[in-house]
Amino acid sequence: MTDRTTGKTVEASVTHPNGRAGGGTAAPPPTPERRNNGLALAVIATAQLMVVLDVSIVNVALPSMKDSLGFSWANLEWVVNAYTLAFGGLLLLGGRACDLYGQRRVFLWGISLLAVASLLGGLATTQAWLIAARAAQGVCGAMVAPAALALIATMFTEGKERNRAMGVYAAMSGAGGAIGNLLGGVFTDVLSWRWVLFVNVPIALVLALLGPRVLRESRTRKEPLDLPGALTATAGATLLVYGLVNAATHDWGDALTMGPIVGGLVLLALFVVVEARSSDPLMPLSIFSNRNRTGSYIIMFAIGAVLFAMFYFLTLFMQQVAGYSPLKTGLAFLPFAVIVMVLAGVAGQLVGKIGPKPLLMTGTLLAAGALFWFSRLSAEDGYTAQLLGPLLLIGAGVAICFVPLTLAAVAGVHDHEAGISSAVLNTGQQVGGSLGLAVLGTVAAHLTRDRVADLGAAADPHSVGAAYADGYARAFGIAGFVMIAAFLVAALVIRVRKDEIDPEMAGAAI
């Protein structure tokens, strides 16, 4: 056959990763491509870690960014939301681009542009510049993440080899958020907040150089690219979040609040119409006909909403109220990272034995308990008394949810639906994170503003800090009820049996 990227004739054995060529019975010696699979996995896993880190690594640097560029508390949310909205809104489009233009090509373009966007972000001198750079990073992430997952599916033999590769990929995805907080603290404290962006540049350049040597190109297809769907979904979610963020500083009846909210809802409704009428939709609405998939999407949406808000609020609380340094703040999140890495592996073992439902019910209840614990937050509490326990509890809760959610989303689906099912799950987490941060951030801001107004001339740094803590606590209480709702979805909607779970796939998360 002919290699589409080089035009050279290659042996048929290259297209049979199980080592059998044609109808023969003897396995040929490993090809160079097969020998490079270890390095290819390192490239793919590192790229996925970068994409996940870029969501969270800025968290600990947010107070420093605020002081350096003069952000208001409301506008500061856009440093996070600009990335997650672009990433989540364009993730499905990135997956389709991989099919149309080739997985390796999209991966390398995404990595190369990520280096440029990160460099420009680190050099930012204005708020708009930084937010634009973060949005550009999100666009690049939407190219890299689906390409990385697709490359694993095409480069590694189905079965044990692919499952091990998926395990490495899942580990990078699961632990990346917490590791980002730790690294963000180190860079901000030792160097500058700008290095949470600059760090991507050398890593991305190395990956861009190695990628063409170790990654194989996939076959391409000639199909239309659903740009109307991508644009209406991304613009709709962005306007909705913009309106919700504005509600923190304007009345709900203000045009700057209700105008974007109404416009966003209209665009999201238009997105549904576009997808229903499209012959090649970005997100086929038929995927929601399966109750397990729909339930998984709702639960992941809820997890994204509470996790993004938790990292944001706790970062500000530790540095602005408790007086932690960025490094100490990053280290404070380390127990969360450790328990996520440990219990994600345990969940991968258990899900094949007891099924996803018991784990999802347990995980969502643990997360709800942690958030209600956080709702008792006060300015006087120390780390061990008020932060360590709920951090461990919510880490345990979300850790045992990640693997079952992924498996429930793809259980029983046809091969051609597996990719879109997983992509929508990831999209739900990112968009849920943006909307959750916008809503809960508005709740916290309103309560804090009222408390500070009540203080009047008696306001001092300690009482203002207490007002911020009260605002965060109120938001955590609402987040707890969000996870109670997720528990009910797990209990009433999810119906995946343990015999529908592939044991090898379940073990891949270890």
For residue 427 the two structure tokens come to 């999209």
Residues in the chain: 510
For residue 97 the two structure tokens come to 């681009």
Average pLDDT score over residue span 310-319: 87
Give the ranges where 251-379 is alpha helix by DSSP (H).
255-277, 291-316, 326-332, 334-354, 356-374
Which helix H or strand E contains 471, and what residues bound it? helix 461-492
The pLDDT of residue 25: 39
The pLDDT of residue 390: 92
What confidence category does residue 280 fall into, taking pLDDT thresholds of 50, 70 and 90?
confident
* pLDDT tens digits, 197-253: 998 899 999 998 888 887 776 665 666 666 787 788 878 877 887 787 777 666 777
| Cβ neighbours of residue 460 closer than 8 Å, sequence gap 6 or more | none
Which of these, 223, 409, 150, lies nearest to 298 by C-alpha position? Answer: 409
Which of these, 79, 82, 60, lies nearest to 71 by C-alpha position? Answer: 79
pLDDT at 157 over 80: no
pLDDT at 395 over 70: yes
> CA of 32: how far to CAs of 9, 23, 29, 419, in Å?
15, 22, 9, 28
- Indicate the average pLDDT of the chain: 78
Give the rounded percent of residues in the chain with a pLDDT score beyond 90: 14
Taking the C-alpha atoms of residue 65 and residue 467, their distance in angstroms, rounded to an integer, is 22
Residue, of 163 and 227, whose pLDDT is higher: 227
Place of tokens 């992430």: 141
The pLDDT of residue 15: 34
Query: Looking at the DSSP assignment, which residues form a beta bridge with residue 2?
Result: 9
Taking the C-alpha atoms of residue 192 and residue 183, their distance in angstroms, rounded to an integer, is 12
What confidence category does residue 294 fall into, taking pLDDT thresholds of 50, 70 and 90?
confident
The pLDDT of residue 363: 92
* pLDDT tens digits, 434-475: 788 888 888 888 788 777 776 665 556 667 778 888 888 899
The pLDDT of residue 117: 93
Which of these, 498, 449, 493, lies nearest to 474 by C-alpha position? Answer: 449
Residue, of 294 and 173, whose pLDDT is higher: 294
What confidence category does residue 426 fall into, taking pLDDT thresholds of 50, 70 and 90?
confident
Give the rounded percent of residues in the chain with a pLDDT score beyond 70: 79
What confidence category does residue 486 fall into, taking pLDDT thresholds of 50, 70 and 90?
very high
